Structure 1
């Protein structure tokens, strides 16, 4: 029997979520260094966010991930992980999280689920596909006061 020294998806993701918490607690983008998170992501990692989100689009590589975290921090004043369940734990892990976040622009606080399909190869995250239940509610909460109503016209 051959054993692998490559960490499984649960180990990689648990480490990444712990590093992300440390990164955010240290001040996040512009204050803390992305070096805390970099070891968990492959150099060519791809993150796909729904285009309807204020930080939507495709983010590539370590530089893209650093820019993504900056964009997130500009949108959310706080972003707290309340619960997390590993629904599937193979090469493609599926993680269901419940988040409480406060939008900077509006001050509104939301609690919402995010389902993430995350591909892990050779001990690093290579692709992330998050799915939010209601991107419109999130986008409206993150809009400056009055802007959400204008966007709906």
Structure 2
């Protein structure tokens, strides 16, 4: 495996541990933060309830809280990775369950992730269908 992919897998493991411990407001974000650069940036589609640009560890912790407000669960059905130096492209087929409506959504998300010096510096997710995401979340 490459260094970037190893770093990303470390982040995913810390994220899973954070969420299984209760997530925002209940678990310590420090384990996740240890895998993120201090100036990490998460870009989300503006139309989503958790859309916008989230910066730094504080921004990522607030992003996780916003995602938790929107989704009660997320299960990965399939993940694929392509690595080019410090960049990892991921294909994620997943099932979300909407917290506001209880509806489930099976969809795909591509992500462009940058890793530098063993830390994730940037996430750029691209949803297959943001309209379907909004429909699942809207009562």
Q: What is the TM-score with the length of structure 1 in the denominator?
A: 0.87
Give the Cα–Cα distance (whole angstroms) in 2 for the partners of residues 45 and 16 of structure 1.
Answer: 13
SS in 1 for 2:47: coil
Moved over 6 A (4+): none
Deviation at 1:88, TM superposition (A): 2.7
2:67 is aligned with 1:62: no
Please, what is the CA RMSD of the aligned residues? 1.1
- How many residue pairs align between the two structures? 138
1:82-101 correspondence to structure 2 within 5 Å: 82-101=77-96
Structure 1, unmatched stretches of 5+, are 1-6, 146-153
SS in 2 for 1:37: helix
Give 1 or 2: higher strand fraction: 2
Structure 2, unmatched stretches of 5+, are none
Deviation at 1:36, TM superposition (A): 1.4
Give the Cα–Cα distance (whole angstroms) in 2 for the partners of residues 73 and 90 of structure 1.
Answer: 32
2:13 is aligned with 1:18: yes
What whole-Å deviation, never above 9, does each CA across 1:107-138 have from its counterpart, x for those lacking one?
A: 10011111010010111111110000101110
Contact 1:41 1:124 in 2 (8 A): yes
Deviation at 1:61, TM superposition (A): 0.1
Deviation at 1:12, TM superposition (A): 0.4
Q: What is the TM-score with the length of structure 2 in the denominator?
A: 0.95
Deviation at 1:89, TM superposition (A): 4.3
Give the Cα–Cα distance (whole angstroms) in 2 for the partners of residues 38 and 82 of structure 1.
Answer: 25
